[in-house]
A and B are shown apart, each in its own frame.
Chain A
Amino acid sequence: MKINCDSFILLLQENPGSRLPDNYQEHLEACRSCRDLLKAHDHNIEELKKRVAISETTKNNVLSKLQKEIAREKALSQDIGNQSFWARLNIFRLQVAFPLLVLVIVAGLFLVEDSGGSVQLTGPATVLKNSQKVVLEETGVKLDFGERISLLTGQLHLTWKNNEAVLIDGRLDFAVHKRNLTVGEGQATLDFMPSTAGYVVATRRATFTILGTTIVLDLSDSSDSIAVLKGKVAWALNDKSRAGEATAGTRIILKNGQVLEETFSTDAANMDGGVQIKKTGGVWTPKNSE
């Protein structure tokens, strides 16, 4: 095979390192341009290898931090799991009469407030609407404000008339209002588009008004928590006894009628634009971007 400058660069293209077959040596001896290229190639790759190498000390430090993070995560999951058990028992005792009464009153209020408005729903998703199973594709249907709907499977894209939107992925019973979303039972990921600042997420214990871009909700049967990663939220207990604002790096926990405020590092946040939460079992966690 005749070796020339073109075949030499193709060799470098294929070779992971700089070990070259013998038949290239003759060309290299004769060609200064390729000699210079090889020299620059080897020098840059060696330099790059040094710069992107991780030291054993760094590796061990990162592993240690990681193991602590995993232990915290496990402890938190266990704690929430235990709390959920007792909370479920309490809820079972209380039955459904009182929540139903509250739901009827709230729904009535929203129906009055929301008369005339609607959002556009598009799929791909299967929903239960007016007790009928509906398969949604790109061509959407209208959902009136206050009308309850159940997402059974797929991804449901809700778009308000002002083009603000939320993507719901999973199973969820909910109702949409002019600038509110009331959620019931289910497991779903909710992605609020960045422009939906000012929207209100109503839980059983409080309302959270989105003023910034990125929050993580962690809702269990016994407590609500909201961690603000970017921007801020305004919060208010449903009985209006307390209210405030939480800025980035703050977590508000509502538990047993108490309001706890914690700070945390936002370094680990990898949220991109909107509110991203996911419920798995009884645990709400940030949505995994993978």
Chain B
Amino acid sequence: MSYRNLEIDSELIASLKRQDGKAFEKLFHAFSGLVYSIAMGLLGEKTAAEDALQEIFFKIYKALPDFQGEKITPWMGRIAQNHCFDLLRQTKRAVASTSMPAEELDHWQTVVPSEELPDFINSLSILEREVVILKKVEGLSYREIAQITGKTEGTLRNIMLKSLQTLKGEIGEN
């Protein structure tokens, strides 16, 4: 089941808010791909992404009663993104001994180049990675990505353009 179909299933949303087990399983099957690709893209390691997937869905389960009926895709995307940013802050504790605002994370270049990701992705900043994955892998619209990242659609288009120019530059170098 695609997560797109869940957006309009109000009965399922009501069951989720009651933390119904079957509904939660359905939610997991529909969204685990999206959440995992965000985690994998940002954390760069399969083991870390799998642990994060479990932790993120546990957070989602606990947060379901407070779900306000907004679009579920950006809501879950935001939880996944924030969780991964928290993990990145922890691994970068020497730099961020105090809490760092999420906005500053996009200035980071890749935390640690990952052998599990293509070189092109490794050459992008955290936010660029996230935008490329959400747009090109998950096929989200810029409006949906804006709801997850908190950036404007214009900023996101610029980020994508910059990523493509980076790719073009890499081809030129080779």
Question: Interface residues, chain A, CB within 8 Å of chain B?
Answer: 9-10, 12-14, 16-17, 33, 36-37, 40-41, 44-45, 47-49, 51-54, 58-59, 61-63, 65-67, 69-70, 73, 194, 267-268, 270, 272-273, 288-290
Q: Which residues of B contact A273 (CB under 8 A)?
A: 97-99
Q: How far, in Å, is A191 (CB) from chain B's closest CB?
A: 10
- The reply to whether B136 and A45 contact each other, CB–CB distance below 8 Å, is yes
Distance A53 CA – B35 CA, assembled complex (angstroms): 10
Chain B contact residues, majority secondary structure: helix
- The reply to whether A48 and B58 contact each other, CB–CB distance below 8 Å, is no
A52-B40, A70-B58, A272-B90 are known contacts; what are 7 more A-B pairs with Cβ within 8 Å? A13-B164, A40-B120, A62-B57, A63-B28, A66-B28, A70-B21, A290-B82
Please tell me if B29 contacts chain A, counting CB pairs below 8 Å: yes
- The reply to whether B57 and A16 contact each other, CB–CB distance below 8 Å, is no
Please tell me if B55 contacts chain A, counting CB pairs below 8 Å: yes
Distance A60 CA – B79 CA, assembled complex (angstroms): 21
Please tell me if B7 contacts chain A, counting CB pairs below 8 Å: no
Q: Which residues of A contact B53 (CB under 8 A)?
A: 54, 62
> What total count of A-B pairs have CB within 8 Å?
127
- If A13-B160, A65-B54 touch, whether A290 touches B59 (CB-CB below 8 Å) is yes
- 17 pairs, A vs B, C-beta closer than 8 Å: A12-B164, A13-B164, A40-B120, A48-B121, A48-B133, A53-B37, A54-B32, A54-B36, A54-B53, A58-B50, A59-B29, A62-B53, A268-B54, A288-B62, A289-B82, A289-B86, A290-B79
Q: Which residues of B contact A69 (CB under 8 A)?
A: 54, 58
Chain A contact residues, majority secondary structure: helix
| Interface-lining segment among B10-18, B105-113, B166-174 | B166-174
Distance A14 CA – B143 CA, assembled complex (angstroms): 12
Q: Which residues of A contact B121 (CB under 8 A)?
A: 44, 48
- The reply to whether A70 and B61 contact each other, CB–CB distance below 8 Å, is yes
Q: Which residues of B contact A67 (CB under 8 A)?
A: 21, 25
Distance A66 CA – B83 CA, assembled complex (angstroms): 16
